[in-house]
Chains A and B, each alone.
Chain A
């Protein structure tokens, strides 16, 4: 699986959009981008995933660049409950089952 690079920490004001970047310059054509978050030692929570098109669900939007070498997770209106470690993970979508490989993630702190 391709490696990802994320900033170790970010702050965001409550009510503003939080934009979390992820670099995955070695991504292959058969790899998805997944985003998870972990709130204070709870189980990681699935947020969203995508292949090449932008994706949106009730939690967030995922913007993937045309060359797929980077992506941005957008939380449109951050709340204090969004404070968490956010993990960007790249993983193949075909072939045999694969586990998730977690890096260090980005600690997002939403400030009141």
Chain B
């Protein structure tokens, strides 16, 4: 158990819809990262937050947004969903935003777009 909690575990929805994925980092961790894993792309970094502020951005689509709340949990919002958004979405956390700290991953949310 990594200590990172993601909900829901599975999500099935239709094209054009909007969903919210939630992540609770390990106790004491200030930094949260979001990754997407699809069959043809592997694990891709989306975005990072550190203590409530956006720290780094990867290949995140404009239809996607995220935020980190004062209690340090984070949410990833996906809107105008397309079939290609079907993927596993992982959240990771680390104690600081520093590159030396290992990231610990949750078990992910499997998103299926019908």
Chain A residues engaging chain B, CB cutoff 8 angstroms: 32, 34, 41-46, 49, 91-104
Contact = CB atoms under 8 A, between A and B. Distances in A.
B99 A44 contact: no
Contacts, number: 70
Interface residues of B, number: 31
Contact of B42 (A43, A49, A92, A104): A104
Contact of B58 (A95, A97, A99, A104): A99
A95 B100 CA distance: 10
25 contacts: A41-B108, A42-B107, A43-B90, A44-B43, A44-B90, A44-B105, A46-B2, A46-B102, A46-B103, A91-B99, A93-B99, A94-B99, A94-B100, A96-B55, A96-B56, A96-B97, A97-B50, A97-B55, A98-B56, A99-B56, A99-B58, A100-B43, A100-B45, A100-B103, A104-B42
A102 B42 contact: yes
